[in-house]
A and B are shown apart, each in its own frame.
Chain A
Amino acid sequence: MSFLEGEAMTGGYGGADIIRGCDLAAERGEIAVIVGPNGAGKSTAMKALLGVARLRSGSVRLGGEDITALSPQDRVGRGMAFVPQTDNVFATLTVRENLEMGAFLRRSGVARTMERVFDLFPAVRENRDRQAGALSGGQRQQVAIGRALMTEPAALLLDEPTAGVSPIVMDDLFERMLEIRSAGVAILMAEQNARQALAIADRGYVLVTGQNRFADTGAALLANPEMRRSFLGG
């Protein structure tokens, strides 16, 4: 049994089911990546783990405990952190305030965590007194991840963190993911850039129309000929 685990998840946002019987898992110190075509339910699957999308059946477990009935806020309180794809920073707050808000529920050790985020993302440190809305797309993404890390999460969920950033910035972001992983965090991300993401993934999930199509290690998926033909463009 993995640290973060969604089992046979079926549900959506109140209308038709978007994910149907989907399984996901991430272990501490591992990167799990969800890939798949547009509209496959990657984001929804991730939001189901977080509790934003509603499940009709299936369950979510964190550290062996069933958290299916908990609200997103309660899940955050238990060590999950989420970086949405868009609107993922407080644009009118300064970068430092963004990080402080990330640590809203914590009373101690905030300064130390912030120092670690600054070490991880030097650009965030440089811009700490600027408004987050004034930063470039890549820097804003770093602030967003930094904000999520301020809770010292055990599991970090990211929804397409590299959407709309340049390839150089993408490589850099993936670089940082590996660093975060080495601190023992379970990382789960939904990604459009399947090839690059699977290259750093310990596990990969391929979702099609809300169902698991493949699940294997990242390297195995990259090597799988059918996978290459259908999802990686040859």
Chain B
Amino acid sequence: MAVGFGQSWSLALAVLNLCLISALMSLAVNIQWGYAGLFNIGVMGFAALGGLAGVLVSRPPVPAAWAAGGVGLFIALLILIAAGGLALALARHLRRSRWRMLAIAIVMLAGLLGARAFFDPATDAIEAVEPAKTGYLGGLGLPIVLSWFAGGLLAAGAAFVIGRIALGLRSDYFAIATLGISEIVIAVLKNEDWLTRGVKNVTGLDRPVPYEVDLQQDPRFVDLVAVLHSRSLEALTGAAHEAALRELTVQFSSLFVKLCYAGLFLAALAVVFWLSERALHSPWGRMMRAIRDNEIAAGAIGKDVTRRHRQVFILGSAVIGVAGAMLTTLDGQFTPAGYQPLRFTFLIWVMVVVGGSGNNLGAVLGGFLIWFVWIEAEPAGLWLMQALTSGLPADSAVRAHLLESAAHMRPLVMGVILLLVMRFRPRGLIPADR
């Protein structure tokens, strides 16, 4: 954190907050990978679901939009459920033949088209309601902290469905399935404007902590600042004192808000960390490790390996969802286009591998460390490029290109770190005890 300190307190805290969230995500992936050997490369999708929860829980509902399209959406949903049910019934009760497949396909197709007949006008109507401000259904209007739980539940629900399909097969299939679902989640969030406003983003989300402006108006807060800085303020008098105090208040209010966030995130991280440590050292955790180390033997003594894997997958995904909701809370906005697999899936994996898979403390440390490197890779890359190209003339095209491309050092650096750690320190910075 030394560089963070060197740059500024405020920046250091901003980095710290993201470090905390990263650590939580890395902890979640570590639960899946370290405890059960699940290779989940759909982290981004679960995090985005958590972010969605932030919108759905905290935004006020839009009654006009509900009035415009609520019924249509409901009917579309009913049709889909009916078609799905009918298809399932056909699959159960008809004999296996070409006709069965055809019948199921026709039912599904008809259901999809029928649902769209209601769905399209409904969503058009919803999106037409004050498109610049709302144009979506809104949320429940509840405090945003509740979305952390909702995000966990949403992600857990998605994990349940994927787990049913892809767990029990070899890890490669599972990985590809999670990759696919995360791409689809993002596509939905980007395109279903009636739900999320899509790429128009949802901004100005509620905060669980006070606003800077309010703090600056609060006399108690100003007094607190005055007390904290009494020594430096003593020397000043009159207008200079006033100005200095105002300046300090503004600075400190932003610091204070970040501290509040840090406190909340730290609490969440501590709770999850404590719970997962408890779980790891419980009989359940010992069984999980036994299964991880030897699936065949565990299966042979009657452990339902796939079921255990599903449990872990759902738990870990729920934690990712919580972290995703926290991230949206911190940003104060939900931007579907901001979800990039590099940043939200693969970076987390680097954290886990570097930290030491199977070790919670390692995962947290990896989260901090790698987020820091990620943040600093760009300025460092720029600096490196400047140093490398300083010999070239200032108007050289090569130099301009290199400087411009420094931002792309990030994936390169991350990839190299991942490969080097895997090769030369395969158990990570803090190896899990066996």
Query: Do chains A and B directly touch (beta carbons under 8 Å) in the complex?
Result: no
A-side residues, CB < 8 A to B, are none
Q: Residues of B with Cβ closer than 8 Å to A?
A: none
